[in-house]
Amino acid sequence: MVVHLMADFFGVSAMQLTDQSMISGIMVSAAGAAGMSASGSPVVLKHPDGALSVILPLDGCHMSLHTNPERETALLDVLATPPHDPQRALDVLMRRLAASTVRTERRERG
């Protein structure tokens, strides 16, 4: 079984959402808090409008975060295998991204 956690962050400052180093660091910290090991460095794609797509490959799963600074939003996707807890990763992002609203959904898959 795989746990699929999705979260939408609203009201995040555009300055945070365009900071590649900060977002990459948060992703690595979040994975560590969930007990997941990165199988590579974060892959960061910077889009012409300043938005970022950050993908962190993990052993047997992944985390990704897509930002939209114009709308002050970020979309998180975490796939985690037991015994890893994606909620711990979400907790790190919630503390660091200072969103006004966070909407989450969790599904068990496979």
pTM of the shown model: 0.93
97-108 pLDDT, tens digit per residue, is 999 999 999 999
Residue that is written with structure tokens 């997941």 in the block: 36
The number of domains in the chain is 1
CATH code of residue 22: 3.60.90.10
- Alpha-carbon distance 74 to 67, whole Å? 4
Residue 76 structural domain: 2-109
50-85 pLDDT, tens digit per residue, is 999 999 999 888 999 999 999 999 999 999 998 999
Number of helical (H) and strand (E) elements in the chain, helices listed first: 3, 6
